Amino acid sequence: MPEAARTLVKSPPELWAEVSDPEALGRHLGAFGEIRITRLEPEATVAWEGDRVRGTVDLSPAGWGTKVTVKAEPEGAAPTGRRPPGFLALVVRLLGRDAVEPEDLPPLFDSGVLDGMLSTLGKAHRQPFTRG
């Protein structure tokens, strides 16, 4: 199961406000299609679904910040995160093709989407000590 984790120097409530809002979460995970939140555990976990992809965002206090862990997996994947038998056949059927090229796989398989989300979440939205 693709996963990205990072400790961000932001408070859990500040990050929770961003990841628990469907529109904001959709901006971060837009590469997975339309994002729907399926379950919330206040200030701890957001479960979400996209197009043929599902995942979670977990928040936990960590020293001077908050540890954020983002996980994603294809719908129907085995709970272990390993590709189930016939995974490539399933992708071929979903894409409606006789053959699948690596670049045709959903963006889930490029962990850059998850890492990009953490980079964006970690950025300051305002510069400290500035007016305006």
- Extents of the domains making up the chain: 3-122
Among residues 71, 93, 92, the alpha carbon closest in space to that of 81 is found at 71
Q: What is the CATH number of domain 3-122?
A: 3.30.530
Q: What is the DSSP letter of 89?
A: H
Q: Is the pLDDT of residue 79 over 70?
A: no
Q: How far apart are CA 7 and CA 61, in angstroms?
A: 9
- Higher-scoring residue by pLDDT: 93, 117: 117
Q: What is the DSSP letter of 84?
A: P
Q: Is the pLDDT of residue 128 over 60?
A: no
Q: Is the pLDDT of residue 131 over 80?
A: no
Kindly state the average pLDDT of the residues 34-48.
94
